[in-house]
Amino acid sequence: LGMGDDGHIASLFPPLSDLAFSDEVLVLATATERFDVRDRISLSLNTIASANTSMFLLSGNGKKKIWKGMMASKEDERHWPAKAVLEQTNATVFARW
């Protein structure tokens, strides 16, 4: 997984909707105004977080700033979907700052 400057992962853009947390939905449509490709398809957060292992690939000072901001934040996975993945999977983070 990567992480966008707004904290999104896998086209799950904050704040996440209730549908992103549904146990009955494996994939969902998402949309953003931030990129040229606005309409997206993603796995639900519960589907992503159900993996045994996960991997984050992060590079650059921008990603360092957003990652450290997420780790220091008291906001939950509705704003920081990566937090759910970190808490529920055996996660490895590869960072090149």
pLDDT score for 61: 95
For 48, half-sphere exposure in the C-beta direction (CA atoms, 13 angstrom radius) is 26
| Cα gap 64→22, rounded to integer Å | 30
Confidence (pLDDT) at 46: 95
Low-confidence ranges of the chain (pLDDT < 50): none
Instruction: Output the pLDDT for position 9.
Output: 98
Q: Residue 75 and residue 27: Cα distance in Å, rounded?
A: 24
Given this model, what pLDDT does residue 86 score? 97
